Amino acid sequence: MWDAIECTEDQKSILNTVKKFVEKEVLPRSAELDAHPNPEDGYSQEIIAEANKLGIRTMTLSEEWGGLAASSLTTSMVVEALGRGDIGVSVAFAQTLKIAQIMEKALTEEQKSRVLPAFVDDPTAMLAIGITEPDNASNYFLPHPAPFNTVAERIEGGWVVNGMKHFISNGNRAKFYLLFVQTEKEKTLSTGSTCFLVERDRPGFTIGRVHDKMGERLANNAELIFQDCFIPDENVIGETGKGFGVLAEFFPQSNAYAGASVLGCADALYEKALDWAKIRVQGGKPLIEHDGIRAQLSEMQMLLDVARTYIHKACYLADNQEKGWNKTLGVYPKAFASQTGWKIATWCLEIHGGHGYMKEFGVEKLVRDAAAFLHSDGVNRTLFLKAANFIYAD
């Protein structure tokens, strides 16, 4: 279902590899992993290691650093294909792929030489980004004049960080983190924060709770806790006090990758609804021959096509900004894809009747998964307000 834009031969080859990987490594395990009561047990190092053998984990890095130099468009196609297998697997990789992309652009040569080989050479190393705090969440999407509560004190040679982040995707699985910290306390989070590079084994940094989530259980989200954690000046990314500049400059495709993850899940729900409509006979004929159901399936197909086209447009223009990028493309595609995913989830459930409510039919897991992106990467309402602030700025 990645035909909104005609694929190049390279893209076809990568996507066929990912499709086979999903069929062999993800789909057979996803229901069992999802069912583990302990959230940490839903995450599979084996799946990550197998994907690494195929080059998926590092594909956004340039060839110089051992990657495939995949464009944002190709990456969004891969993220969607992974999401068709499982949204959690897709998210774990989408985060890592996008942060690797940011790192290659935003890190200094010295930082890259410390980080990228260590990331590439470790087959299960993942990446994470820590922005959200218990008291600062939408405040970051709609910059509110509050500071981050995770703060840094200046000392000789670096900074001492105290505070915590929560809900962080790959939080307990990452080898390196991009961390947003308040370095100028009298300013707001958008004017006085700094982006730091943090290594997993840095003294003073520990992992707190791993969140027990409703869905997307094959990915882990965790708290990051900083207690007198010294971070040297060499780990400042960009300029001190300009953390938000790092996000604005190096992050354009983040929202579209999030949309691609939930789109993959929505694809899977549509396929389930279609298959069921073909085999379930009521009223003397298969459900698909009843006009109401037939029209609903057709509407699902339209919504999926539009969501995919929007994501592809945003990804292509994120890499080719001179051809017409505008800031709403960093906001709307995820909102549209997640609303589409949620609508298709409820329709798929409805088409299955009581069967959809029974776990053995596999719809229930996908419905829980489809809810993940109504809030992740920004609550949709907040994103609409953010876009409004771009559109109606003057």
Ligand X SMILES: Cc1cc2nc3c(=O)[nH]c(=O)nc-3n(C[C@H](O)[C@H](O)[C@H](O)COP(=O)(O)OP(=O)(O)OC[C@H]3O[C@@H](n4cnc5c(N)ncnc54)[C@H](O)[C@@H]3O)c2cc1C
Contacts to ligand X by CB under 6 A: 129-132, 137-138, 141-142, 167-169, 216, 221, 372, 375-379, 381-382, 385
Cβ closest to ligand X, residue 220 vs residue 240:
220
Residue 134, token pair as written in the block? 């218990």
Cβ proximity to ligand X: between 91 and 351 the closer is: 91
Q: Which two tokens stand for residue 189?
A: 């989070």
Sign of the C-alpha dihedral computed for residues 35, 39, 45 and 47 taken in this order: positive
CB-nearest residue to ligand X: 137
Q: Minimum CB separation from ligand X for residue 130, in Å?
A: 6
Burial code (b: 16+ CB inside 10 Å, e: under 16) for 216-240 equals bbbbbbbbbbbeebbbeeebbbbeb
Contact criterion met (CB below 8 Å) for 97 and 257 = yes
Q: Which is nearer to ligand X, 167 or 244 (CB)?
A: 167
- Dist. CA 49–CA 294, nearest whole Å: 41
Q: How far apart are CA 394 and CA 95, in angstroms?
A: 34
Using H for helix, E for strand and C for coil, what is the string for 249-263?
HHCCCHHHHHHHHHH
Are 71 and 315 in contact by the 8 Å Cβ rule? The answer is yes
| Smallest distance, ligand X to C-beta of residue 359, A | 21
Torsion angle of alpha carbons 221, 319, 374, 212, nearest 10°? -10
Residue 212 CB, nearest distance to ligand X (Å)? Answer: 12
Q: At 372, give phi and psi (nearest 5°).
A: -55, -40
d(CA 122, CA 100): 14
**Nearest residue (CB) to ligand X, 29 versus 381:** 381
Least distance from C-beta 191 to ligand X, angstroms? 17
Q: Of 71 and 90, which CB lies nearer to ligand X in the complex structure?
A: 90
CB of residue 110 to ligand X, shortest distance in Å: 26
We find the least distance from the C-beta atom of residue 180 to ligand X, in angstroms, to be 8
Burial class (CB in 10 A: 0-12, 13-18, 19+), 86: buried
Of 71 and 132, nearer to ligand X (C-beta) is 132
Tell me whether residue 277 or residue 330 sits nearer to ligand X (CB atom).
Answer: 330
Cβ neighbourhood burial of 279 (10 Å; 0-12, 13-18, 19+): exposed
CB of 137 to ligand X, least distance (A): 3
CB 219 within 8 A of CB 265: no
Minimum distance from residue 290 beta carbon to ligand X (Å)? 36
**DSSP letter for each residue of 306-330:** HHHHHHHHHHHHHH-GGGT--GGGG
User: Positive or negative CA dihedral for 248, 253, 255, 258?
Assistant: negative
Minimum Å distance from CB 379 to ligand X? 4
Between 361 and 384, CB nearer to ligand X: 384
In the bound state with ligand X, the residue whose beta carbon lies nearer, of 128 and 269, is 128
